[in-house]
Amino acid sequence: MIALLTDPSRRSALSISAAPLSVAPMMDRTDRHFRYFMRQITRQTLLYTEMVTSNAIIHGDRERLLGFSLAEKPLALQLGGDSPRALAFVPTLLKIWAMTKST
């Protein structure tokens, strides 16, 4: 989809109404309630979480930081941090967290 939107030779194939809705992820704005609302407006968009730091996920309240409704999918996590080790550990932690939520 990115190539379709950025490649000028393919851009003419898109009509204004066919272009997906894009909303820039905003701290303290694109929370789970906002994402749910946006999903009700259109299914033609990838929703993003607020920026969450790796240390917040490792040490913080994961349900508050990462919780979402299945209605929000597809959903992308915006992950930030300054420690490559912590950034690399978060996907493993997310898998464990997701498994504990499904039981």
Mind listing the pLDDT tens digit for each residue in 49-103?
888 999 999 999 998 888 888 888 888 888 999 999 999 999 999 888 888 876 5
State the pLDDT at residue 24.
72
Q: Is 9 domain-assigned?
A: no
pLDDT of residue 19: 52
35 domain-assigned: yes
Q: What is the mean pLDDT of the chain?
A: 79
- 34 belongs to a structural domain: yes
15 in a domain, yes or no?
no
Question: Residues 8-41: pLDDT tens digits?
Answer: 454 444 444 555 667 777 777 888 899 899 889 8
Give the span between the Cα atoms of 95 and 103, in whole angstroms. 13
pLDDT tens for 43-59 read 888 888 888 999 999 99
Whether 36 is covered by a domain: the verdict is: yes
Using alpha carbons, select from 50, 60, 101 the residue that is nearest to residue 80. 50
Count the domains in the chain.
1
The verdict on residue 11 lying in a domain is no
Residue 2 lies in a domain: no
Q: How far is CA 87 from the centre of its chain?
A: 16
Range of the domain at 56: 23-102
Report how far residue 65's alpha carbon sits from residue 32's, in angstroms, rounded to the nearest whole number.
9
pTM of the model: 0.67
In a domain, 7, yes or no: no
